[in-house]
Amino acid sequence: MPKDEFDFEDPFELNGVGLVSNEDTTEAMTECFVEEFMRLGHNHKQILAMFRNHHYIGMNLALQKRGEPFVRDMITEVFARRGRAVAWSPGFSRSGPTEGEARSISQETPAPEQVVELDATTTDPMGAPIPNVTM
């Protein structure tokens, strides 16, 4: 079979399925997002910034649906489970980090074995800053 044709009989063909549910899965979804990006080396402020970015559709949907205090509490809870303390600075605004806060985010060290810097000059295809991870 040619590469570009879809074969419904191929058991190895990747298929996506959407499931409709009456249950609110926002909490579990938010927890998974936070856990995933925490394990990738992002700090709590970077993860909150991803929730604020409308290009991260699932994360932004959770923020819009439940609000920023819920997301902050979930980030704090997930980090605490892994023994990592989270301290939200009083100057960290709810509308997004200012230029000074973006600089402080890039200077924080999320884990002793790796360094993550947020370079505002390098962006992904959607315009979000790409973290520079040094291990």
User: What are the tens digits of pLDDT across the range 42-51?
Assistant: 999 999 999 9
Higher pLDDT, 28 or 122: 28
Average pLDDT of the chain is 77
Can you give the chain as a three-state secondary structure string?
CCCCCCCCCCCCCCCCCCCCCCCCCHHHHHHHHHHHHHHCCCCHHHHHHHHHCCCCHHHHHHHHHHCHHHHHHHHHHHHHHCCCCCCCCCCCCCCCCCHHHHHHHHHCCCECCEEEEEEEEEECCCCCEEEEEEC
Domain boundaries, the chain: 26-134
Supply the pTM of this predicted model. Answer: 0.57
- pLDDT for the residue numbered 109: 47
- pLDDT for the residue numbered 20: 80
pLDDT tier, 125 (very low <50, low <70, confident <90, very high otherwise): low
